[in-house]
Amino acid sequence: MTRTLLTSLTILLASALLVASFGCAAAQLPDTGPGSVTAEIADLFEGGSCDDIHSLTQREPFRQVSWMMTDADISEAEYRVPAGDSNRWTDWKPAEITFEEGTSYNARIILSEPTERIEVRGGENLHRAHFSFDSRVTGRVPAQRGSLCSSGDSHPWCVNSESPAGEAPKDLITRRRDWGAIDPERICRDAAMPTRVSFHHTFMPGDDGDDAARSIRQIQAFHINERGWCDVGYHFLIAKNGEIFRGRGGANRPGAHVRGQNRGNIGVGFIGDFTAEPPTTEQVESAVRLTRWIHTAFDIPLTRDAIRGHHEWPGQSTGCPGELMNGDVDRIAQIVEQAGLEVPVNIENRN
Ligand SMILES: [Zn+2]
């Protein structure tokens, strides 16, 4: 999040405090436009929130609120919304927990009517949550873990997901079966030859809590259950310790990571919030190895034009992958440069 945006949020918060007429003071979020916006509640309530109730207001009405948490128990989180036009609230209702593994949780709230205001309480460390608001319901029935391919059937996903085209070497990546991926119910769009690469930070979660595979499962669950996508949006994910995970099967299957620019675009998601801290040394080193392999496997040039940060593509309204990845110090340029310096990886052993 940029300093300018923070400043405008502060101004908006100050004006929202003046006009709050009931309940706790509401924070006014910036105009969202269509689709989803992410709010960092910690930025909005620096002094702590009112009686542990987090009150949020948006100009654009929303139907869905979702968030991910690591190292926090939000199983008791509840919400309420204004009841009609009067200055009353609905009863508190439980948020829907769609992923729970250890102390990692995903939660969502799907509203029957659009609202501009919601209050949330009862979850541990909710003040650290990054909430995502959607003007329409994108969530769907939570996917069940299990492999479509275990039965050995001829489902197109089972046939195509293990296609040798674009399969990275086993010693470079952790395969889907080894991190416990959910197999999608359907194939993710038509194949296209990759010609470009995009780097992202996951932003939420901003850390993997030293259990990277769990975080990858959490992100995949969020993308399927909350975003409504067929699979995790990225083709590859890089954990804090440098471990590289296979995301969406087949790098030639379009991902879901850059609005309107997914065709032929390989998405690499770094676990982290690079507005707050830079990528780890291990992540950068792994990105060099992965970029070198992508260059070799798909003949994608090692240039800053072909390999970009998410926000550098046309039409994006995001700061991803964060100022500490792609700001005054352009770590993407460093990764691209280093990928061209070392001996290319041997792709003969790719599976
Ligand atoms: Zn991104």
Q: Compute the distance from residue 86 Cα to the ligand 1 centre, in Å.
A: 40
The rounded distance, in Å, linking the Cα atoms of 256 and 259 is: 8
81 CA distance to ligand 1 centroid (A)?
30
Q: pLDDT tens-digit profile of 74-126?
A: 889 999 999 977 789 999 999 999 999 998 999 999 999 999 999 999 877 88
Of the candidates 100, 134, 168, which is a domain's last residue?
134
15 CA distance to ligand 1 centroid (A)?
31
Task: Identify the pLDDT of residue 281.
Answer: 96
Are residues 170 and 315 located together in one domain of the fold?
Answer: yes
With bands split at pLDDT 50, 70 and 90, how would you rate the model's confidence at 59? confident
- Of the listed ranges 54-58, 224-228, 268-272, the least confidently predicted one is 54-58
For the chain, percent of residues with pLDDT exceeding 90: 50
Per-residue pLDDT band at 35 (split at 50, 70, 90): very low
Per the DSSP assignment, residues forming a β-bridge with 329 are none
User: Contact, 348 vs 31, CB < 8 A?
Assistant: no
Statement: the pTM of the whole predicted model exceeds 0.85: no
Give the pLDDT band (50/70/90) at residue 143.
low
Same domain, 184 and 98: no
The answer on 336 and 248 residing in a single domain is: yes
Per-residue pLDDT at 53: 85
Number of domains in the chain: 2
Q: What is the pLDDT of residues 277-327, one digit of tens each?
A: 999 999 999 999 999 999 998 999 999 999 999 999 999 999 999 999 999
Question: Helices in the chain by DSSP H: which ranges?
Answer: 3-19, 41-44, 156-161, 176-179, 212-225, 281-298, 323-326, 331-339
Alpha carbon 17 to its chain's center: 30
Q: How far, in Å, is the centroid of ligand 1 from the Cα of 338? A: 22
Q: Are 293 and 345 in contact (CB under 8 A)?
A: yes
- Two structure tokens written together for 99: 């992923």
In a domain, 46, yes or no: yes
The answer to the question of residue 24 being in a domain is: yes
- Of 274 and 151, the one with more pLDDT: 274
How far apart are the CA of 203 and the centre of ligand 1, in A? 8
**Is 145 domain-assigned?**
no
Q: Identify the CA nearest to 266 among candidates 241, 243, 244, 282.
A: 244
- What does pLDDT average to over the chain? 79
Span from the CA of 320 to the centroid of ligand 1 (angstroms): 5
Distance 273 CA to ligand 1 centre (A): 11
* Structural domain ending residue among the three candidates 73, 103, 134: 134
Q: 247: CA distance to ligand 1 center in Å?
A: 14
Residue 19, in any domain of the structure: yes
Residue 157: pLDDT above 80?
Answer: no
Q: Does 61 sit behind a cis peptide bond, omega within 30 degrees of 0 on the bond before it?
A: no
- CA–centroid distance, 324 to ligand 1, in Å, is 14
Distance 310 CA to ligand 1 centre (A): 5
**Residue 205 Cα, ligand 1 centroid: separation in angstroms?**
13
Question: Ligand 1 centre from 92 Cα, in Å?
Answer: 34
Distance (angstroms) between ligand 1 centre and the Cα of 80 equals 30
- pLDDT class for 66, splitting at 50, 70, 90? very high
Task: Quote the ligand 1 centre to 220 CA distance (angstroms).
Answer: 15
Residues 187 and 301 in one domain: yes
Bridge partner residues of 143 (DSSP): none
pLDDT in tens, 237-284: 999 999 999 998 777 778 899 999 999 999 999 999 999 999 999 999
CA 164 from chain centre, in angstroms, equals 27
Residues 130 and 159 reside in one and the same domain: no
pLDDT band at 37 (very low <50, low <70, confident <90, very high): low
How many other CB atoms are found less than 10 A from the CB of residue 244? 21
pLDDT greater at residue 109 or residue 30? 109
Residue 141 located in a structural domain: no
Say if CB 291 and CB 307 are below 8 A apart.
yes
Distance 197 CA to ligand 1 centre (A): 12
pLDDT tens for 196-219 read: 999 999 998 888 988 999 999 999
Q: Is residue 108 located within the same domain as residue 176?
A: no
Confidence at residue 31, expressed as pLDDT on a 0 to 100 scale: 39
Q: Do 78 and 118 sit in the same domain of this protein?
A: yes
**319: containing domain:** 155-349
Answer whether residue 7 shows pLDDT above 80. Answer: no
Q: What number is the average pLDDT over the span 134-161?
A: 61
Q: φ and ψ at 78, to 5 degrees?
A: -130, 165
Assess if residue 147 is contained within a domain: no
- Do 203 and 287 belong together in one domain? yes
Per-position b or e across 271-293, b if 16+ CB within 10 A of its CB: bbbbbeebbbeebbebbbbbbbb
Ligand 1 centroid vs 271 CA: distance in angstroms? 11
Distances (CA, A) of 319 to 202, 278, 310: 12, 14, 8
Beta bridge partners of 230: none
25 Cα–ligand 1 center, Å: 31
- Establish if 148 belongs to a structural domain: no
pLDDT tens-digit readout, 158-175: 444 444 445 778 899 998
- In this structure, the answer to whether residues 291 and 172 fall within a common structural domain is yes
CA 111 – ligand 1 centroid, Å? 26
CA 267 to chain centre: 12
pLDDT of residue 138: 87
Distance 238 CA to ligand 1 centre (A): 14
Residue 343: predicted pLDDT: 59
State in Å: Cα 264 to ligand 1 middle: 16
Q: How far is the CA of 319 from the centre of ligand 1 (A)?
A: 8
Query: Do 59 and 21 lie in a common domain?
Result: yes
Cβ–Cβ < 8 Å for 220, 176: no
Query: Are residues 191 and 320 both part of a single domain?
Result: yes
Output the CA 33–ligand 1 centroid distance in Å. Answer: 17
* CATH assignment at residue 304: 3.40.80.10
The answer to whether position 146 is within a domain reads: no
Tell me, yes or no, whether 62 and 168 share the same domain.
Answer: no
pLDDT at 302: 97
**174 alpha carbon – ligand 1 mean position (Å):** 21
